[in-house]
Structure 1
Amino acid sequence: MKNYKLIIILFFIGLSSIFAQQKKFITYKVLQGETIQSISKNLSITPYDLLKLNPDVKDNIKVGDLIIIPNKDYNPEKDIENSDLSSIGVKDIIVDNFIYHEVLKKETLYSLLKKFEVSIDELNSLNPLLVNDGLKEGQILKIPVKISAIQIFEKEKLTQPYLVKAKETKFSIAKIFGISIAYLEELNPKIKQKGLQFDDVILVPSKVVKNSELKTYKIEKQETLFGLSNKFGVSQEELKAVNPQLEKGVIAGMLIKIPSIENAIDKYFNDKSLENIHINIAMMLPFKSKRDSLDFENDRILNITTDFYFGAIQAMDSLKNQGLSIHMKVYDTENSEYISKKLSAKSEFEDYDVVIGPMYLKNIKAVSESLTYRKAMIISPITTKDHSKIINKNLVQEVASKENLALEMLHFIKSNYANQKMLVIADENKIESYINNQIFKEIQALDSTKQVTIIKPVKGYIKPEVFKENISEEIENWVFVLGNNEAFLRDIFNNLGVLSEENKITLFSFEKGKSYDKINNNFLSRVNYHYPTSTFLDRDSKAYSNFRSRYKKTYYVDPSKYAIDGFDITYDILMRLSVNNDLINQGTSQRIATKYNFIENTSGGIINQGVFIIKYEELELKIVE
């Protein structure tokens, strides 16, 4: 009886909790005298951002209009809609991001841990009675809801908010965006159960399929959905949306429609005229110039700093030649947190438009704290470490983080999956780490009807027969590697790299550590190795050839990686700031070796998610995305 009462109480609390769930975007009714400018100011966003959320408004709002605005109270960690609720039973109640589950007959601790993807320590800490009394039928257990950061990232990256209008239906909205009703419901699970609600905010694709520009294509022999997706640069979902017959398979001779894609925002950033534009720059670099002597032979940081600075000078000279007026001052941080903070606290930093540096995270944090309320953009140039705990909306992380690399690789995999056999090879306990655990879940979710094969070393070694037993000869094998240990990788490539060509293999990693450089290139090509990277240098490109020529003429040596970084980062950020400060909505640019596509990170700052997907093909490296 007590349990029954508890379930009833939790049910009503749960109802209010569910209705109170935070959404990233909500509706707002325009009041008397309000304008786009005044509303955006109150929300601390730009008018451009507000109009981007409301493309039909065009700055002519009137009293009573409903518009979409960002929800300032939104917390992704409480976003139930972005979590996997497939394990929730009919009697289970969700309250404040916890599931209250009544233990059923024949349920065991092991089955519950597996069902709700929770650890025994986590379950015991939330349910002290389990430790003393053990698991019993009828108990009410408190279990945390798992929110997937990867699912949130993937959904936000590919979608935009949309305000449902009067008389609109699922069919009419799906038709506008060139997608199926099933895909619209996948983006918005709530509308599948409750239908569309007038004035509700739902998610729709950020890319619009323009039916007026569909091209007809005749499928040739042996072509696959994966190949068609790559060939025309559209996802498999987009192809299926305009060609429902593809759900039954790809047939030679079939006529299909190929959509052309128009991004909701400009896809590419175009360089602008720089005449009559002036920018003030501070460069904060660890030269350590106060030392008695500078040891360029043994001081790695000094070499990185100097090369970066030389590359940045080349970028500024190039921009000056295009008409940009630049005032630049260099500050030596001495790689000290204290000195970095002391320098950035100076009143002259009020006048800077951009601060390039410091190089390392601890110093970046110190400078960000000093400049929290100042206008300058703070550029973190080389570190891949997590910046999300630094609260400063003007902080820009120029290098994609390891998590971003993994997310972009996952996006590529999910867009091109076509029923391949999936194998995960994990180095000892690597699959238990947070990011690898998320990656594994996403791989499993590619096809819920298939079992993903997991291979792990036994006593530090994987027997050759294990590879032979698990590689299919009938269909293509997709192998996902989690781990960077050199011996572990040699084990994999020395075995897979010598298998017969009849065994079709594509191997993916989610980062490329230094250990991969020691693997035989023939083996890397044999397994069609794919990996994500934030930089890729084509030494035959005109951009690199021109830069190398100028650099060598000035400094008498070839440019290092850090010299190229210095050029790319400085050139791109100054060109973008010459247009406006809204880096997030400017589109993608590509310089000598780096792609730039800025998004907001979880702390409100900015991070570059420009990532190349690279593959080995016939002993050469090629960009596939």
Structure 2
Amino acid sequence: MGIENMKYVKLLLIIGFLTFTVSCGQQKGYIQYRVKTGETMISIAEKLKMSPKDLLRLNPDFNENLKPNSFIVVPENKYDLFKNQQIKNGVVIEEIESTPEKNILIDKAKVTAKLFENFEVYEVVKGDTFYSLERRFGVSIDELLLLNPELKEGLKEGSILKIKEFQNEKELQKEIVVRNSSYNDYIKLNKSLKVSLLLPFRGDIYNYDSISPRDIFQKNTLANIATDLYLGAEFAVDSLRKRGIDIEFSIYDTGARKSNGISKIIYEQNLNNNDLIIGPLYSEEAQLLASRVNVPIIFPLYSSNQSEFNNPNIITASPDKKIFKNELIRYIKNNFSRGNLIIVSDQSEVSNSIKNALNTAILQSSITILTPENGVIEKSRFLQILRPNTNNWIVFATNNEVTVSDAINSLISLPSEIKTNVFAFDKGSVYDKIDNIKLAKIGFTYVSEEFVDGTSDSSKIFNKAYLSKNNAIPTLYATKGFDITYDILIRLASGKKLSTTFKEGASIRVVNKFDFINKGSFQNEGLFILQMNEDLTLSKLK
């Protein structure tokens, strides 16, 4: 079963356990049906009084012809509607087998999970080559082909590869290793916590009896984000329970934006009984919630409006974009010595502000501003400034696709004796459209709130454990959901106030760094400086 379909079943479970503002319940929305000899999708659909098309959408991994004793998913309300009624050829609906929600996943998914359980896995991204995979993971092409015969047809973006089998004891341990920075995790004996997750699952707008995974997850970004954040948060709660923390975990569907869903939750639920609230996703809802409850509220994803937060109960998990520039300028000040520093920008005021910010540490004569002429920056203009055997640092202070693409093409074609390092405030969408091989060639360095180190023990163990539980590789949103939930809950488990633990130091979890500063509301300023290497791996410079 594909990752998309696994996520679909998980979302069905979430929605099946939620009413609009009620946390996890006991009712099941979907159950399994064991296929009998001679049955087809059409005949089963007739029994359930569904259209074959709707039943196929609910089971995208199956076609019209089914194998006996395989399992498909059917709506439980269809079962309840026709229970105990005689159907064609003496077959009765009560032969449908209902399973507990944790076992509702189709057998095929379990087989897939078992297949990958003992392997390090990797999702192919744009720019990957056999050479880069060899360098990154220390495996040969022959070894990759042995585990992944489909590679004979070449690398395909988005495909999942088995890299190598876990062998040593450290890789096989069950407990997830979570990296620390300066904050020391401490769990108070017999600590109990109550946490609520508020996300827009939008269960009110979907007819899950007839909608396909493709319709949900490829056409609705919000469904992807909410489901992944939930899966990551749930995984963090499970991990901390194994460490002895008693956690009560509730989930609420906030519904559509500006639908008064959050107001209804506030009115109907006593949220002040919580030790922590994660969500909602929208800034105006977070501010409304903070004005009504006296509980720490984690605002999980970045919003351009988060700089307006001034309630000490709101904790922003994603750093504000304004501090990305400050972080890069600070790094350049501390590390640039002699050489050439070029600022590429299409706005003179932006360039001058950066130049002025650097002038206390770097000689003004070393800084040159280049702006496009007729939309481009010719290679000859770089050659007039750049020199061999010296530092040539180039800061891109623009996100104009044409300017960035043209400048990078000029830089990668420079004479080999001229070495450059290109810096950007973040790796935004404009750089995602550029081949990673090109970025690696120019030593592309950028500021990021995430550092995905697929070679670290903590990442390997986390990915393996998450895959075993959810039959899917964790996305960045799922990992973020884990990191946020794990970090704040383990701080609360110390028995201290959150504000006290924030003063005790920053923390690094699986991919995120948390360094909370009180600026009216608590804001995370934990950032990394990352550099892309020629083998397409990333190095953490800071």
Q: What's the TM-score once normalised by structure 2's chain length?
A: 0.62
Equivalent residue for 2:112? Answer: none
Query: Structure 2 residue aligned with 1:535, among 450, 464, 470?
Result: 450
Answering whether residue 407 of structure 2 is matched by residue 506 of structure 1, we say no
Equivalent residue for 1:592? Answer: 510
Give the C-alpha shift of residue 326 in structure 1.
Answer: 0.9
Is contact 2:187–2:490 with CA below 8 Å preserved after alignment?
no
Answering whether residue 529 of structure 2 is matched by residue 609 of structure 1, we say no
Query: How many angstroms apart in 1 are the aligned matches of 2:254 and 2:540?
Result: 37
Query: How many angstroms apart in 1 are the aligned matches of 2:181 and 2:480?
Result: 23
Percent identity between the aligned chains?
Answer: 29
Task: Output one character per residue of 1:536-593: Cα deviation in whole Å (capped at 9) or x when no partner.
Answer: 1112222222222222222222111111111111001101112222243021211111
> How many aligned residue pairs are there?
351
Task: Output one character per residue of 1:148-195: Cα deviation in whole Å (capped at 9) or x when no partner.
Answer: xxxxxxxxxxxxxxxxxxxxxxxxxxxxxxxxxxxxxxxxxxxxxxxx
Query: How many angstroms apart in 2 are the aligned matches of 1:356 and 1:272?
Result: 21
When residues 585 and 539 of structure 1 are mapped into structure 2, their CA distance, relative to the original with a 3 A threshold, is same
- Where relative contact order (Cα < 8 A, 6+ residues apart) is larger, the structure is 2
Query: How many angstroms apart in 2 are the aligned matches of 1:555 and 1:415?
Result: 43
SS at match of 2:318: coil
Query: How many angstroms apart in 2 are the aligned matches of 1:361 and 1:408?
Result: 24
Is contact 1:354–1:378 with CA below 8 Å preserved after alignment?
yes
SS at match of 2:216: coil
Is contact 2:355–2:367 with CA below 8 Å preserved after alignment?
no
Give the C-alpha shift of residue 356 in structure 1.
Answer: 0.1
SS at match of 1:272: coil
Query: Structure 1 residue aligned with 2:229, among 293, 308, 311?
Result: 308
SS at match of 2:308: coil
Is contact 2:342–2:369 with CA below 8 Å preserved after alignment?
yes
Counterpart residue type for residue 596 of structure 1: F
Query: How many angstroms apart in 1 are the aligned matches of 2:444 and 2:358?
Result: 17
Equivalent residue for 2:195? Answer: 281
Query: How many angstroms apart in 1 are the aligned matches of 2:528 and 2:181?
Result: 16
SS at match of 2:422: strand
Q: What's the TM-score once normalised by structure 1's chain length?
A: 0.54
Query: How many angstroms apart in 2 are the aligned matches of 1:445 and 1:586?
Result: 31
When residues 440 and 364 of structure 1 are mapped into structure 2, their CA distance, relative to the original with a 3 A threshold, is farther
Is contact 2:324–2:425 with CA below 8 Å preserved after alignment?
yes
Give the C-alpha shift of residue 384 in structure 1.
Answer: 4.3
Query: How many angstroms apart in 2 are the aligned matches of 1:332 and 1:534?
Result: 27
Query: How many angstroms apart in 1 are the aligned matches of 2:430 and 2:220?
Result: 24
Give the C-alpha shift of residue 368 in structure 1.
Answer: 2.2
Query: How many angstroms apart in 2 are the aligned matches of 1:386 and 1:565?
Result: 20
Equivalent residue for 1:526? Answer: 441
Task: Output one character per residue of 1:321-356: Cα deviation in whole Å (capped at 9) or x when no partner.
Answer: 111111122111113342223423556112111110
TM-align CA RMSD: 2.1
Is contact 1:285–1:335 with CA below 8 Å preserved after alignment?
no
Query: How many angstroms apart in 2 are the aligned matches of 1:345 and 1:415?
Result: 52
Counterpart residue type for residue 281 of structure 1: V
Equivalent residue for 2:119? Answer: none
Matches within 5 A, 1:6-405: 268-294=182-208, 295-297=215-217, 298-337=219-258, 338-346=260-268, 348-371=270-293, 374=294, 376-405=295-324
For structure 2, the 5+ residue unaligned runs are 1-179, 209-214
Comparing 288-297 and 300-309, the one that deviates more: 288-297
Give the C-alpha shift of residue 307 in structure 1.
Answer: 1.1
Give the C-alpha shift of residue 450 in structure 1.
Answer: 1.8
Query: How many angstroms apart in 1 are the aligned matches of 2:450 and 2:303?
Result: 12
Give the C-alpha shift of residue 470 in structure 1.
Answer: 1.9
SS at match of 1:323: coil
Equivalent residue for 2:49? Answer: none
Equivalent residue for 2:534? Answer: 618
Query: How many angstroms apart in 2 are the aligned matches of 1:545 and 1:537?
Result: 11
Give the C-alpha shift of residue 425 in structure 1.
Answer: 0.6
Equivalent residue for 1:422? Answer: 341
Query: How many angstroms apart in 2 are the aligned matches of 1:594 and 1:498?
Result: 35
Query: How many angstroms apart in 1 are the aligned matches of 2:412 and 2:449?
Result: 26
Equivalent residue for 1:469? Answer: 384
Equivalent residue for 1:260? Answer: none
Is contact 1:420–1:475 with CA below 8 Å preserved after alignment?
yes
Is contact 1:274–1:322 with CA below 8 Å preserved after alignment?
no
Answering whether residue 330 of structure 2 is matched by residue 406 of structure 1, we say no
Is contact 1:386–1:401 with CA below 8 Å preserved after alignment?
no
SS at match of 1:450: helix
